[in-house]
A and B are shown apart, each in its own frame.
Chain A
Amino acid sequence: MARTRAAAALLALLTSVFVGVPPSVADTVDVPYSTTAFPSGEATLTIDVPAGVRPEAVTGRLAIDRPMKGRVVVSVRGRAALSVAAQPVQWVRVPVGPADVVGGRILLRMDLQPDPVPGTRCIESDASATLDHVRLVFSGREQPPTTVARFLPPYSPRVDVTVPRDPTDGEIAAGLAAVAAVSSRYPSTTTLVVLRAATEPPVPAETGYRVIRVRESGGEARTAITTEDGVPTLTVQGDAPSLLAAVRALASRGLSLANGDRTEGLFESSRGSNDPVLTRTLAELSGADRLVLSGYGHVESYVGVKQDAFGSPIGTLDLHLVGTHSAVPRDARAQLDVYVNNALVHSMRLEGGTDIDQVITIPGTRLEGVNGLVLALSAVPDRRSCIGVDRPLPLEVDIDARASTVTATPGESVAGLARFPQVLGGVLPVAIADGANPLGSAIDAAYVVSALQRQAARPLAVSLVDPDELLVGSASGLLVGADGSDSSTIQAPLRLDEMRLIDSAKESFQVGTDQAFAALEAVRTQGRDVLLMGSWSPVGGAPGLSRRLARAVEVSGWSGLTGDLFVATGDTKPFTLDSNAVVPQKERVEEQQSFILWLVAGAGVLVLVLVLRQVVIARRRRQIATIVDAKTAAHPPGGR
């Protein structure tokens, strides 16, 4: 017994040492970015260094997409920190030190240097080098944040939003809004943003781990930063409306003005209009004023185009490219290709004049919820300039991103789950179904909210609404904790009831009629779009499956969801499918019976017409008979 107590004491001691205290030895933090270099130009990657730590190295995976001979050089502050031979895939470690940190950041420059073609000075490689899975290795302890503005670090493995075990509606709304706000700050899934009860213990502390505690109380919103169990914690409290406004402000760029550890009356000053903006400049979409493609070989520039950036679902896109290219040397050849989601949509030969002014229409069939627009310059130099003392003249395409635009035409290019979040118009009403566990459902909803936010181009205005607003109202939004009755009311494609999959469904598993399942469904009803999440089991709901499904949404990211259903069953990994792959449920089929009333009504109208016709004919006959009788009476036969 004494030995047991001693072991427990030792365990407690170890726990107090290693749990909740940031490590002081070498540690790492994920950097959720990558960079790609082409032979003719260097690529850069900026890495924020957590306050108080000593950077030691940057590690990552270096991949070359096509066979080539040459080297990849990574330099920091003009120093060649790494030079390796080009290989298809290799893990690299770039040594860095405190001297490389400028303004809290390390700037890496990556240069792909293919060997020239033998006997010439020209480089003719279409390869590119990509550095991803980047991590910053450091030692020392992260300095806890002291201001609200710096509370959320540049990179974080996890941010918890906590609410009381028995939360009020205001706390749930604020908690979900906080999840959305934080997710908008961390667009990569490398940062886990969760909602949990405040009574649950935090996970073991890591560098960048944060907790945001939401608590409803009287008065204006107030914030305070503390460190609890070694985890920096931001407490936000206030009455429900100000609490909601305060947590929404966490997504705001204006948060940098909150330079104290305590604030009062924190709110987002301006969210901007939710009206659709159908034209966006490439500068707005890419964050760069210019897109420069230079050199010979193959060079690309990528711009992400989210449908949500236009405030509504889109049918087609018109890309207006404005820019300049250098004069193409005689006997050199160059072309600019435009790809959308890896499909070639336009190609132009660069010759003659030097202006680029081109409108390219991208049909809806090429579009997805998030679209990858790639401008690719392919150029071949004049062979004669590769030998002797001559050298190739430079070649460059300079796209003016502020003058180049993407104009959307509203429409429906995608269906099912991919319609979200653009159909929400920047507003996300969330409802918890009647009878559902409020906290459990809110936690499930938080995972979905986080995934939706990361797919969105702007912070979503999350609010908590009555379930009827989504079930029978006109709003689009998210309903969680739904049961069979809710799914019937909203006429969901999959009723939360017994179901089985059609044999020909591509999935290799079977869902039997009595197996519990949870589902996230995209429901399009009466011109609006609702996400419905709920579960079914022979004995009622299946909250465990709902949680597993919700977490899978967060992990896979919204762009990983296709079809109109995302389903979790007892023993399989959650999967997406189309509602057409489900054997039509009896209830859905039976609902259609009433349509026969149209035929009955049509027949009734015809019968009515016939009856009226007979009445009119009978009346007319009577009138004629009356007239004939009158004439007969006036002029009786033989009465002359």
Chain B
Amino acid sequence: MSVVAATATARTAAVTATPRRPLGRVLADWFRRFGAPPSGRRVQGTGWVFALGCAVGTAASYWTVSHGTNLDYGDAMAHLTIARRILDGPNPGMQQLGTVWLPLPHLLLMPLTQNMLLFRTGIAGAILGTLCLGIASAALFRTMAHLGFGAAGRVVGMAVLLANPSLLYASTTALTEPVLIAAITACIAGLTGWAVSRRRLSGGELAVFAGIPAAAGVLTRYEGWAMVATGSAYVVVVVLRRGDGLRRALVCASAFAAVPTVAIGWWLAYNTAWYGNPIEFLTGPYSAAAFTDRFEEQGQLTTKGNPGLSLKVLGWALVESDGLVVLVLAGLGLLLMTWRWGFDNRALAVWLGGTSSAFLLVSLVSGQHIMVNDVSLPTGSYNSRYVLSSVPWAALLCAYLVTFAVHAGAALRRPARRWWRGVVAVGVATAALTGVAAQNVWWSHDPTERMAVFEEGALGQRNFKAVKEVAAWLHDHYDGGGLLIDESADKLAVAPVIAIDFDDIYDRAAGGLFYEALAAPERHVRWVVMHREQVTTYATRTAIDLVTGALATDPQFHARYALVYAVANFGVYRRIE
């Protein structure tokens, strides 16, 4: 016993006697570990980077939720509403997923939105977005490690991702961009890890580490579908370069694409089952095509058939979302990467990051998407946030540039010393980070004018101000009895602000019950919310308020219901009892 005690005492004394390492040495060690090459599938620091991403996302969420700006986008409120409706409401079920958007973000939000607090405050979206930011951070970090980027490059790459105000904002909302970015970066990380692995990974591993993220992307946004195509091509090229033959290449590509293909199949089956049309999402009244048709009729879909204007609009959105400094650094990185790596497997992995941007350009030219900003015709603020999926690509290219600069700088002194390399790395990283910081400072002086994502948010805040006032009043005064509202109508997707039990809400999602209530509201609902005058400016005909159409000019309705609150064109009616 005494021996054990003596040993412990000696150990304690030894620990106490160990001199403290200087801070510089500690940082240098940390820097080295942060830039350590991967060991097989293990990349040191992944967990910490995931935690960092979540911490940054949490801080951003705290700010936006406390200011209420996380619900500025109408789409964000709509996503929350759809997610809750799957389990709550007079007509719950998978059909509530609809066809306007792909289903995964709603399915991921579904459990969170069942809690009224998380639903009403939008924290449900912030939680999902924050987790996605953590995943994207970890995936980007792993990709950089697989590509051989040093610590300085990785630090800058992470800074480009995590210091992007537009991406951080989106990550605090229920918008779909964070899910897409997480899926894309995870897919690229999986493909890169597979491509550079010294061990021949099996098709199953490829399916798990790259195919499943790709499937998540497929079920999130159509950019994910393009990712499957470019990812498959990448797999084929890598296998052929290894000399494993076309058959092996096709097997691997199939392994990669299997899960996404199943996902696509499920989506087509869902459309067939509920709408009798496998491509309802392409051709239905709520499809993107129906949405852009209206713009085309009005002569506003000017990017269609115009690659020049499409590129200009997309480019401007990139400038206002990624930042000019980042884009310049990324451009230099692209040139240097092409010079050094050509189109080898590593370079092609980086190019995969550009898939979504290329897809957007094609979509704009083909008229599948509409994007409006300061340089579009006409000008405005709409959908520029789509380009946020380019941020990881820009981050990779910036990281490459820094890695290259560190190598080049270290080579200036022969023979290269460790300390010199460290000095160069810190210097280059500091210079790049200063540029990123300067960009953010410039943005911060007028965020709603200089950043398209914030500008659209501010516009949404203004546009929804009146209806949110109405919704908040209804939330405070609702005393049961049912609510008739056409949430699909222009600017009425404010269920998170109304925040009442969905079982009480008769809207289009309620199916036949909605039309029954529309025909005889007094038998079903105590409350009615509608536009007091019919909507005349709308993107699609689905924005027309069916409740207004049925009741606004009905004298008997006005004899039975009293207008109890109104702001602008929005009115709250209560049954006279």
Q: Which residues of A contact B (CB under 8 A)?
A: 500, 502-504, 579-584, 588-590, 592-599, 605-606, 609-610, 612-614
Assembled-state Cα–Cα distance A597/B315 (Å): 13
**Which of A502, A598, A614 is close to B300, meaning CB atoms less than 8 Å apart?**
A502
Assembled-state Cα–Cα distance A592/B364 (Å): 14
**Shortest distance between the CB of A499 and any CB in chain B (Å):** 10
**Which of B302, B308, B338, B537 is close to A609, meaning CB atoms less than 8 Å apart?**
B338
Q: Does B334 contact A (CB under 8 A)?
A: yes
Contact B338 A503 (CB under 8 A): no
Contact B311 A595 (CB under 8 A): yes
Q: Does B2 contact A (CB under 8 A)?
A: no
Q: Scan residues 157-197 of chain B and give those whose CB is less than 8 A from a CB of chain A.
A: none
Q: Does B299 contact A (CB under 8 A)?
A: yes
**Whose C-beta in chain B lies nearest to the C-beta of A588?**
B377
Inter-chain contacts of A500 with B (CB < 8 A) = 299
**Whose C-beta in chain B lies nearest to the C-beta of A599?**
B311
Contact A593 B306 (CB under 8 A): yes
Contact B298 A503 (CB under 8 A): yes
Assembled-state Cα–Cα distance A411/B307 (Å): 34
Q: Scan residues 315-367 of chain B and give those whose CB is less than 8 A from a CB of chain A.
A: 315, 334-335, 338-339, 342-343
Contact A613 B378 (CB under 8 A): no
Inter-chain contacts of A503 with B (CB < 8 A) = 298, 537
Contact A584 B302 (CB under 8 A): yes
Inter-chain contacts of B272 with A (CB < 8 A) = none
Interface centre among B299, B335, B380, B537 (most CB of A within 10 A): B299
Q: Does B434 contact A (CB under 8 A)?
A: no
Contact A589 B306 (CB under 8 A): yes
**Shortest distance between the CB of B374 and any CB in chain A (Å):** 11
Chain A binding surface SS class: helix
Given contacts A583-B298, A584-B300, contact A606 B377 (CB under 8 A): no
Assembled-state Cα–Cα distance A596/B315 (Å): 11
18 sample A-B contacts, Cβ–Cβ < 8 Å, listed by A number? A502-B300, A582-B378, A583-B298, A583-B299, A583-B300, A584-B300, A589-B302, A589-B306, A590-B306, A592-B377, A595-B312, A596-B308, A597-B308, A598-B311, A599-B307, A609-B339, A610-B342, A613-B339
Contact B343 A610 (CB under 8 A): yes
Assembled-state Cα–Cα distance A500/B298 (Å): 10
**Whose C-beta in chain A lies nearest to the C-beta of B312?**
A595
Inter-chain contacts of A593 with B (CB < 8 A) = 306-309
Q: Does B283 contact A (CB under 8 A)?
A: no
Contact B378 A502 (CB under 8 A): yes
Given contacts A583-B299, A599-B311, contact A589 B377 (CB under 8 A): yes
**Shortest distance between the CB of B222 and any CB in chain A (Å):** 22
Inter-chain contacts of B342 with A (CB < 8 A) = 610, 613-614
**Shortest distance between the CB of B108 and any CB in chain A (Å):** 35
Q: Does B553 contact A (CB under 8 A)?
A: no
Contact A580 B378 (CB under 8 A): yes
Additional pairs, 13, CB under 8 Å, beyond known A580-B380, A614-B342: A500-B299, A502-B298, A502-B299, A502-B378, A579-B378, A589-B309, A592-B309, A593-B309, A594-B308, A597-B308, A598-B311, A609-B339, A610-B343
Inter-chain contacts of A582 with B (CB < 8 A) = 378
Contact B307 A596 (CB under 8 A): yes
**Whose C-beta in chain B lies nearest to the C-beta of A581?**
B378
Given contacts A502-B298, A503-B298, contact A596 B338 (CB under 8 A): no
**Whose C-beta in chain A lies nearest to the C-beta of B376?**
A584
Q: Does B379 contact A (CB under 8 A)?
A: yes
Inter-chain contacts of A580 with B (CB < 8 A) = 378-380
**Shortest distance between the CB of B88 and any CB in chain A (Å):** 35
Chain B binding surface SS class: loop
**Which of A595, A612, A613, A614 is close to B308, meaning CB atoms less than 8 Å apart?**
A595
Q: Scan residues 293-308 of chain B and give those whose CB is less than 8 A from a CB of chain A.
A: 298-300, 302, 306-308
Interface centre among A583, A589, A597, A612 (most CB of B within 10 A): A589
Inter-chain contacts of B311 with A (CB < 8 A) = 595-596, 598-599
Contact B537 A504 (CB under 8 A): yes
Q: Scan residues 224-273 of chain B and give those whose CB is less than 8 A from a CB of chain A.
A: none
**Which of B298, B309, B334, B338 is close to A595, meaning CB atoms less than 8 Å apart?**
B309
Contact A613 B537 (CB under 8 A): no
Inter-chain contacts of A597 with B (CB < 8 A) = 308
**Shortest distance between the CB of A586 and any CB in chain B (Å):** 9
Assembled-state Cα–Cα distance A614/B307 (Å): 31
Inter-chain contacts of A583 with B (CB < 8 A) = 298-300
Inter-chain contacts of A504 with B (CB < 8 A) = 298, 536-537
Inter-chain contacts of B380 with A (CB < 8 A) = 580
Inter-chain contacts of A592 with B (CB < 8 A) = 302, 306, 308-309, 312, 377
**Shortest distance between the CB of B182 and any CB in chain A (Å):** 28
Assembled-state Cα–Cα distance A504/B339 (Å): 51
Inter-chain contacts of A605 with B (CB < 8 A) = 335
Assembled-state Cα–Cα distance A599/B315 (Å): 10
Interface centre among B298, B307, B309, B380 (most CB of A within 10 A): B309
**Shortest distance between the CB of A88 and any CB in chain B (Å):** 28
Assembled-state Cα–Cα distance A589/B376 (Å): 9
Inter-chain contacts of A584 with B (CB < 8 A) = 299-300, 302, 377-378
Inter-chain contacts of A579 with B (CB < 8 A) = 378
**Shortest distance between the CB of A503 and any CB in chain B (Å):** 6
**Shortest distance between the CB of A252 and any CB in chain B (Å):** 42
Assembled-state Cα–Cα distance A19/B309 (Å): 62
**Shortest distance between the CB of B352 and any CB in chain A (Å):** 16
Assembled-state Cα–Cα distance A5/B133 (Å): 96
Assembled-state Cα–Cα distance A504/B490 (Å): 14
Inter-chain contacts of A599 with B (CB < 8 A) = 307, 311
Residues 57-89 of chain B, each 1 if its beta carbon lies under 8 Å from chain A, else 0: 000000000000000000000000000000000
Contact B537 A606 (CB under 8 A): no
**Whose C-beta in chain B lies nearest to the C-beta of A605?**
B335
**Shortest distance between the CB of B44 and any CB in chain A (Å):** 33
Contact B335 A609 (CB under 8 A): yes
**Shortest distance between the CB of A596 and any CB in chain B (Å):** 4
Assembled-state Cα–Cα distance A609/B336 (Å): 9
Assembled-state Cα–Cα distance A416/B378 (Å): 15
**Shortest distance between the CB of A492 and any CB in chain B (Å):** 13
**Shortest distance between the CB of A590 and any CB in chain B (Å):** 8
Assembled-state Cα–Cα distance A613/B340 (Å): 8
Assembled-state Cα–Cα distance A584/B312 (Å): 16
**Shortest distance between the CB of B55 and any CB in chain A (Å):** 34
Assembled-state Cα–Cα distance A286/B379 (Å): 39
Inter-chain contacts of A590 with B (CB < 8 A) = 306
Inter-chain contacts of B334 with A (CB < 8 A) = 606
Assembled-state Cα–Cα distance A199/B527 (Å): 73
Inter-chain contacts of B537 with A (CB < 8 A) = 503-504
Assembled-state Cα–Cα distance A584/B379 (Å): 10
Assembled-state Cα–Cα distance A391/B311 (Å): 76
Assembled-state Cα–Cα distance A171/B306 (Å): 48
Assembled-state Cα–Cα distance A610/B343 (Å): 9
**Shortest distance between the CB of B451 and any CB in chain A (Å):** 17
Assembled-state Cα–Cα distance A598/B309 (Å): 11
Give 4 nearest A-B pairs by CB, closest first: A583-B299, A592-B309, A595-B308, A584-B377
